[in-house]
């Protein structure tokens, strides 16, 4: 009787631990895709922030070259816009939404922070140019 009780308790505790494994979450940056000059342009818009997603729904896709780029409202991509590469990153796909993501890391967070500082400088300098010099 004691053995059955212990086995039952062990199964109960095991099921709780296994159930909790599916609830593990990580922070991710969404990877957007657009076509520029016939090529796919994968980028993270730092103004989107991070999404917290369950690992259970994330599927590996591939390593892809990623840029940082702030999407301009009602404006198509231009090479005069400010953007920067963060190199090859491992991309994952949320199986529920089919959106692409890269996992947050200290390195990516620092690159995004630096990018936003440079972007603000670029934006302020662009607004100071006379309108006949702006492309």
Encode pLDDT of 38-93 as tens digits: 999 999 999 999 998 888 888 888 999 999 999 888 888 888 889 999 999 999 99
DSSP state for residue 131 in the 8-state scheme? G
Q: What ranges do the domains of the chain cover?
A: 24-128
CB 81 within 8 A of CB 72: yes
Whole-angstrom Cα Rg for the chain:
22
pLDDT score of 126: 77
Query: What's the whole-model pTM score?
Result: 0.74
């Amino acid at each position: 009787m004691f053995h059955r009780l212990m086995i039952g308790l062990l199964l109960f505790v095991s099921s709780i631990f296994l159930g909790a494994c599916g609830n593990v979450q990580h922070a991710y940056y969404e990877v957007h895709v657009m076509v520029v000059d016939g090529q796919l342009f994968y980028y993270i818009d730092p103004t989107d922030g991070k999404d917290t997603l369950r690992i259970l729904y994330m599927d590996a896709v591939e390593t892809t070259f990623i840029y940082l780029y702030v999407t301009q409202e009602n404006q198509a991509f231009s090479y005069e816009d400010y953007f920067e590469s963060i190199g090859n990153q491992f991309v994952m796909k949320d199986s529920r939404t089919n959106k692409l993501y890269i996992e947050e890391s200290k390195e990516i967070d620092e690159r995004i922070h630096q990018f936003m500082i440079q972007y603000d400088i670029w934006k302020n300098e662009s607004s100071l140019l006379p309108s006949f010099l702006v492309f």
